[in-house]
């Protein structure tokens, strides 16, 4: 697991190496500031992290400062409800469809029976891509044609899961923020219909954030949270960017559970986010 975090944060750590000439037992405060900014930590957060630190910082002090960002009360929305219904939300291009395949594969490996719902009926490509993943993983899917009512897909997917005694329902959604009012009403309707099909549904509304967007993805998250209320976050594509420090900004601004980090394109490329390992992987590039 630790090596996986090193892989995910590879480009971020390469950027840090350009600031840190050699690893040492302690570094000056201004150098630590440069490191955090280079890794795309929000400036206001950097200032707060530095506030209580001495002029010369050792590893323990740096760790305590960074880990404090994750010390908020998070509702993980775990439930024994069966089927457990998750709605996957995010803008187009963030990696929703690939992440759904990773979640489905993960649940499969845990011995659970999964069904997918192709609720992004706005894009034919989204329906096709999700259907291909379903076939590859040998998982049932409820899909319709482009332009059909996504709420009908939600209802049919949950009803199918109930009838077949399945454990997990994963539903894709559209993500076109530039038509925000329409999207907001569509998502709200999907949630209402899910609740009609199953009283507790959706059990979790999971937001997919593109790690290459860095701290700017926070505004997207806030927009979706205002629309429908987000329960947790999965961050994708962190392995392709030097903006790994943005995870600190995301945690600080949103105060939500970060469930997983995407580490690549394959169904196996999804790891549980662990704040301690995340912080230590960054500090390994700075301190002896």
User: Token pair for residue 149?
Assistant: 């009512």
Q: Are 130 and 191 in contact (CB under 8 A)?
A: no
What pLDDT is recorded for position 263?
87
Number of domains observed in the structure of the chain: 1
What integer is the mean pLDDT of 264-281? 94
Task: Give the span between the Cα atoms of 116 and 173, in whole angstroms.
Answer: 11
Confidence of residue 179 (pLDDT cuts 50, 70, 90): low
Q: How confident is residue 214, by pLDDT bands cut at 50, 70 and 90? A: confident
Residue 174 covered by a domain: yes
3 state SS of 225: helix
Residues 5-52: tens digit of each pLDDT: 888 999 999 999 999 989 999 999 999 999 999 999 999 999 999 999
Q: Token digits for 7?
A: 């892989």
Average pLDDT over residues 135-161: 97
- Return contacts of 2-5, CB within 8 angstroms, 24+ apart: 2/277, 2/280, 2/281, 4/263, 4/271, 5/261, 5/271, 5/274, 5/277, 5/278, 5/281
What mean pLDDT is predicted for residues 247-272? 94
Does residue 18 sit within a domain? no
Average predicted confidence (pLDDT) for the chain: 94
Residue 200 within any structural domain of the chain: yes
pLDDT category of residue 1 using cuts at 50, 70 and 90: very low
**Per the domain annotation, does 37 fall within a domain?**
no
> Measured in whole angstroms, how far is the alpha carbon of residue 200 from the centre of its chain?
22
Examine residue 170 and state whether it is found in any structural domain, yes or no: yes
Strand 270-272 versus strand 258-262 pairing type: antiparallel
Domain that holds residue 268: 84-281
H-only helix segments in the chain: 2-8, 10-19, 29-38, 43-51, 59-67, 96-109, 124-137, 150-164, 180-197, 217-228, 246-254, 275-283
Burial of 179 (0-12, 13-18, 19+ CB in 10 A): exposed
Q: What is the CATH number of the domain that holds 186?
A: 3.40.50.300
Q: Is 138 among the domain residues?
A: yes
Question: pLDDT-derived band of residue 178, with 50, 70 and 90 as boundaries?
Answer: low
Average pLDDT value for residue range 67-76: 93
Does residue 17 form part of some domain?
no
Pairing outcome for strands 258-262 and 232-236: parallel
Which pLDDT score is estimated for 202?
97
In a domain, 31, yes or no: no
């Amino acid at each position: 697991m630790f090596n996986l975090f090193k892989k995910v944060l590879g480009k971020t750590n390469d950027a840090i190496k350009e600031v840190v000439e050699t690893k040492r037992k302690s570094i000056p405060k201004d150098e630590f500031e440069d490191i955090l900014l280079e890794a795309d930590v929000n400036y206001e957060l950097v200032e707060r992290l530095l506030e209580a630190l001495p002029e010369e910082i050792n590893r323990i002090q740096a760790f305590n400062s960074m880990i404090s960002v994750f010390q908020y009360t998070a509702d993980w929305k775990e439930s024994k409800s069966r089927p457990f219904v998750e709605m996957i939300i995010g803008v187009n291009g963030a990696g929703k469809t690939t992440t759904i395949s990773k979640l489905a594969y993960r649940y499969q490996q845990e011995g659970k029976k999964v069904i997918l719902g192709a609720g992004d009926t706005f894009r034919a490509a989204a329906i096709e891509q999700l259907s291909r993943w379903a076939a590859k993983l040998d998982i049932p899917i409820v899909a319709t044609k482009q332009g059909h009512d996504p709420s009908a897909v939600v209802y049919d997917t949950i009803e199918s899961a109930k009838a077949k005694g399945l454990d997990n329902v994963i539903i894709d959604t559209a993500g076109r923020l530039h038509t925000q009012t329409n999207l907001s009403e569509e998502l709200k309707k999907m949630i209402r219909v899910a609740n009609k099909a199953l009283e507790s549904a959706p059990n979790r509304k999971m937001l997919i954030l593109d790690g290459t967007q860095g701290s700017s993805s926070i505004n997207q998250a806030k927009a979706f949270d205002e629309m429908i209320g987000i329960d947790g976050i999965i961050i994708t594509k962190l392995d392709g960017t030097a903006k790994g420090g943005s995870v600190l900004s995301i945690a600080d601004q949103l105060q939500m559970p970060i469930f997983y980090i995407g580490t690549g394109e394959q169904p196996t490329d999804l790891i549980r986010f662990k704040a301690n390992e995340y912080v230590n992987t960054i500090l390994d590039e700075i301190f002896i």
